[in-house]
Amino acid sequence: MPPTEHKALLHWVEEVARLAQPDRVHWCDGSEAEQARLCQELVDRGTFTALSADRRPGSFLARSDPRDVARLEGRTFICCEEEADAGPTNNWLAPAEMRERLVRLFAGSMRGRTMYVVPFAMAPAGSPLETWGVELTDSPYVVVNMAIMTRMGKAPLAAMGTDGDFVRCLHSVGAPLPEGAADVPWPCNPGNVYVAHFPESREIWSYGSGYGGNALLGKKCLALRVASVIGRDEGWLAEHMTVVKVTSPAGDVQYMAGAFPSACGKTNLAMLVPTLAGWKAETIGDDICWMRLGPDGRLYALNPEAGFFGVAPGTSQLTNPNALATVRHGTIFTNTALTDDGDVWWEGLTSTPPEHLIDWKGEDWWPGRPGPAAHPNARFTVAAAQCPSMAPEWLSPEGVPISAILFGGRRSTTVPLVHEAFDWEHGVYLGSSLASETTAAAAGDVGVLRRDPFAMLPFCGYNMADYWAHWLSLPARAERPNLPKVFLVNWFRKGAGGRYLWPGFGENIRVIAWVFARCGGRTGEAGERVGGAVRTPIGWAPSPGAIPTDGLELPDEDMEELLRVDVAEWRQEVSSMQEHYRRFGDRLPQQLAGQLAALAERLEQAG
């Protein structure tokens, strides 16, 4: 007997069961017993390896099919009625055509398998932004990950009542199991993947992949692509941002949000361990934030997720000690290497690798063997509550008031260490201009500049130009607007010989301290020199000595280079932005065209 009287939900589950034809239907309750049972089933079928109870208690390692290892942007679609509403940054297909394709694929796709009904909530219970979803999936791997990443089970199902709205999330690995056939540890259909979003009807259909953001439909699919459309319609924001609580030596508290493309330090900022005495940083969220206007005209942000789905390679005691502490137990690792004593390892975890490992493909590996031991996109799934740096406010249904929004990309030249927008409209321009140089872990050539506005390029569920207009509309939506200050940071500027000039990681608190003071916070003894600024053509920059460098082996000439604004380089930036904006045609907000023209004029006046 289904544990709900929600007629629309019951009808949908029955409809999908008739189409996909699973052997059985299981309604998930989100209990610890259910999680333990499913994890053991995954061990029994060879999907999971139980890790050492001494070294990594309550943890498991999964190895995916080598063809199913990451989000597939090329197979991700926004299916709205009008192609122009999807915009030039999204793949589009007409809803009717996509439904026709998917119905053919889903017909019989769950034969031989169990269809799990996974009710879940995004955002803390009782929040004004709480959003319910139900994922139907034939993957127990998805279920155990969703149990960590979302608030899943009986509670959200009860909160939905008999008629609550919910986002329909349908997923199949696309590998029906004929009667009597042996299953494989990681079923998938990598040659036939679709991740389709129907924002107007609030639906997500995913087929063929069992991995990450393709299959955990509460994450990028609902919490960003669909939620960004809901936010546009209802007047709030769904953003690819970290949120951090910063406390100064004087005891002042500010909350900051940060949008960073891949490999630009977003997770490290979320779990920052400050090196300046007296400063404290705590985590609200590491990846996604939802923001709404409060009655006081401020933006209030919350973390809609309940867990972290983090990239393991590069995570170490130096780069992110809080992340390492978080995954000591109760963690699902995917595509890391396995040590001989039943633990996990990945590139960057230690300075030297073990002498022998089982790599992410299940093969023997030793130092010097071609290829990495862990896949570059290897992941850990873990409850956020296990993170030692979590702030109590991360569970606040109302969210926390944001004082500053930081945008940041990986730029070896041009963009200084930090600068501040002149005003809100200029801040939206800075977000729209965000760019990062591709790394070896990204598709394509290394070092190519890729525009990633607001770090939302793969995640905005509608036309990016309309998204910018939504941001620009916020001051008019508030009776007394008191919006955050906006900053652009760049931890990755290089000097002669390709040497990074800024030490980064915990030292980033020195830049945060300047931001903190610019937002009106008292910084105390450690920040007495912080807060001064000079006007430049691109925004407000720290005045000489404004960023504390005591204790750093940072030559004065390096600091000068970190903050230098090269007019010739910025004129090239204007040309690049003109090309960027041309993609959006007449939907580009005129305020942003005006901001770009004003920048060009300031650079001309600067000589």
Q: Does a structural domain hold residue 12?
A: yes
Which structural domain, as residue segments, surrounds residue 550? 238-306+391-605
Q: Does a structural domain hold residue 57?
A: no
Phi then psi for residue 27, to 5 deg, are: -90, 120
pLDDT at 32 over 90: yes
pLDDT at 442 over 80: no
Among 386, 414, 440, which residue terminates a domain?
386
- Give the contacts of 363 (CB within 8 A, at least 6 positions apart): none
pLDDT at 438: 76
Asked if residue 194 and residue 111 are part of one domain, the reply reads yes
450-461: pLDDT as tens digits? 999 999 999 999
Could you tell me where the DSSP H helices lie in 250-344?
266-270, 321-326
Tell me how far apart the terminal alpha carbons of the chain are, to the nearest angstrom. Answer: 76
pLDDT at 525: 59
501-547: pLDDT as tens digits? 999 999 999 999 999 999 998 887 544 445 799 999 999 999 999 99
Rounded to two decimals, what is the model's pTM? 0.96
Asked if residue 331 and residue 440 are part of one domain, the reply reads no
Asked if residue 361 and residue 262 are part of one domain, the reply reads no
Structure tokens at 473: 């509309």
378-403: pLDDT as tens digits? 999 999 999 999 999 999 999 999 99
CATH number for position 511 = 3.90.228.20
Phi then psi for residue 197, to 5 deg, are: -115, 135
Catalytic residue among 80, 169, 264, 289: 264
250-287: pLDDT as tens digits? 999 999 999 999 878 888 899 999 999 999 999 999 99
- Give the contacts of 306 (CB within 8 A, at least 6 positions apart): 148, 149, 150, 151, 383, 384, 385
Asked if residue 440 and residue 332 are part of one domain, the reply reads no
Structure tokens at 566: 């090269």
Q: Report the side by side order of strands in the sheet with 344-345.
A: 344-345, 337-339, 357-358, 364-365
Asked if residue 373 and residue 410 are part of one domain, the reply reads no
Asked if residue 330 and residue 200 are part of one domain, the reply reads no
Average pLDDT in the chain:
95
Asked if residue 201 and residue 137 are part of one domain, the reply reads yes
The single residue listed with the structure tokens 């000439």 is: 557
What proportion of the chain, given as a percentage, has pLDDT over 70? 97
Asked if residue 492 and residue 405 are part of one domain, the reply reads yes
pLDDT at 295 over 90: yes
Q: Is 153 exposed, middle or buried (0-12, 13-18, 19+ CB in 10 A)?
A: buried
Residues in the chain: 607
- Give the contacts of 111 (CB within 8 A, at least 6 positions apart): 20, 21, 22, 23, 176, 177, 178
186-218: pLDDT as tens digits? 999 999 999 999 999 999 999 999 999 999 999
The single residue listed with the structure tokens 């007495």 is: 528
pLDDT at 483 over 80: yes
pLDDT at 526: 46
Given a contact cutoff of 8 angstroms between Cβ atoms, the answer to whether 133 and 217 are in contact is: yes
* The total number of structural domains that make up the chain: 3
pLDDT at 241: 98
Can 387 be counted among the known catalytic residues? no
Asked if residue 319 and residue 284 are part of one domain, the reply reads no
Q: Does a structural domain hold residue 66?
A: no
CATH number for position 189 = 3.40.449.10
Q: Does a structural domain hold residue 89?
A: yes
Among 333, 357, 386, which residue terminates a domain?
386
Q: Is 585 exposed, middle or buried (0-12, 13-18, 19+ CB in 10 A)?
A: exposed
pLDDT at 262: 80
Asked if residue 286 and residue 361 are part of one domain, the reply reads no
Among 386, 404, 429, which residue terminates a domain?
386
Mean pLDDT for 560-564 is: 96
Q: Does a structural domain hold residue 270?
A: yes
Asked if residue 432 and residue 352 are part of one domain, the reply reads no
pLDDT at 40: 98
pLDDT at 343 over 90: yes
> Where in 411-557 does DSSP place strands (E)?
418-420, 435-437, 449-451, 485-489, 533-536, 539-542
Asked if residue 334 and residue 375 are part of one domain, the reply reads yes
CATH number for position 320 = 2.170.8.10
